[in-house]
Amino acid sequence: MILKEVTLQNFRNYPSLSVSFSDGINVFLGENAQGKTNLMEAIYALALARSPRTSNEKEMIRWQADSAKITGKIQKRVSTFPLEIIFSKKGKIAKVNHLEQKKLSQYIGQLNVVLFAPEDLNLVKGAPANRRKFLDMELGQMNPVYLHDLVQYQRILKQRNLYLKQLVTGKAKDEVYLDVLTEQLAILGADLLVYRLQFIKKLEAWAQPLHKEISLEREDLTIAYKSNIELSDEMDKDAIFLKLMEAFSQGKSRERDQAVTLFGPHRDDLIFQVNGRNVQNYGSQGQQRTTVLSLKLAEIECMNEVLGEYPILLLDDVLSELDDERQTHLLKAIEKKVQTFLTTTSLDGIKKNKIDEPTIYHIKNGEVEMEGV
């Protein structure tokens, strides 16, 4: 999968920009606040119809403009086609091959990306919400059904939480309606959990040998799914549904006390262990960074396994956070098989001998110039 070119209109500090890319490693070079990360953000938003930096999409629209438009030319093994996403103050419009998509789940997945930024180093040691977001973003790109179910799950979860509050305050009294919402949530929750458990198996299968190699055979990585209901690999969707319903039944009084939904995939987590010890709590900074790097490289391989094509890799100022050894493993793993976009303020901290003929773009004040042109 290759992003051949991108065109921006009124996106962040770019009033207008059109730039073509190489199939290999593309380096965005420039000082801070010049537009490097904005260009990276645009590629991510073209793929996922959202920003990795803000939940307020209006921030992506250039000052005093009504909308921001990103257009890209995508090359896959069997076809080449344009993608377009427009962010306006009224919402967003997504087009595949010039045809507007009624649902974002039909748009997301046309261009697959893996983003690795400094904040991703908190994936292991940060809050559980970071790891749930990681699961949802990667699964959503690979499986439109998962993305559709996730949107429905979040909608019903919001309704159920609101109704629990109304029951507690006496504004509502209909227990039957709560039961209906509970069953709907459990059905969708079981669907999501089946997909998540399957994905974790694939991810671990790829991450284990990568982690072992990066740690020079010293460390074994395992990934476990931590749920607030009892799960096993043998359980199918129906069995998981029954477990969720049982948890809701047994936890009814607790949910009333707290006026919030306490069970389901929105409360779950991932546990990473290195040599049998929880790396989140007991791992060194080096072990945590190796774990995150292994996960990111495993993501790339998982997408290729599921989709038959490698995704695009976005490295947003992350190489400076990795030591020489981890940089070498990262660059070696993507060499000549993954189109990569890399932002940096200087090439000094990067093992240039490990980058095979990069295309360098100098970025200053929202203008992009390819080196040597």
Q: Which residues are known binding-site members?
A: 30-37
The closest of 313, 298, 307 to 113, measured between CA atoms, is 313
Contact 135, 270 (CB under 8 A): yes
**Separation CA 340–CA 134 (nearest Å):** 20
Nearest partner of 303 among 1, 101, 95, judged by Cα: 1
| Binding residue ranges for ATP | 30-37
Given 3-state DSSP classes, what are the helix, strand and coil percentages for the chain, each rounded to the nearest 5? 50, 25, 30
Neighbouring CB atoms inside 10 A of 32's CB total: 8
Beta strand residue intervals within the chain, DSSP E: 2-11, 14-20, 25-29, 67-75, 80-88, 91-96, 99-100, 113-116, 221-226, 269-274, 277-278, 312-316, 340-344, 359-364, 367-370
What is d(CA 128, CA 121) in angstroms, rounded to the nearest whole number?
14
Q: How far apart are CA 46 and CA 128, in angstroms?
A: 27
State how far the alpha carbon of 115 is from the alpha carbons of 43, 159, 196, in Å.
Answer: 10, 32, 20
**98, two tokens:** 């010039």
Count each helix (H run) and each strand (E run) in the chain, helices first. Answer: 11, 15
Whether 42 contacts 6, CB under 8 Å: yes
Cα(161)–Cα(210) distance, rounded to whole angstroms? 41
Q: Are 211 and 287 in contact (CB under 8 A)?
A: no
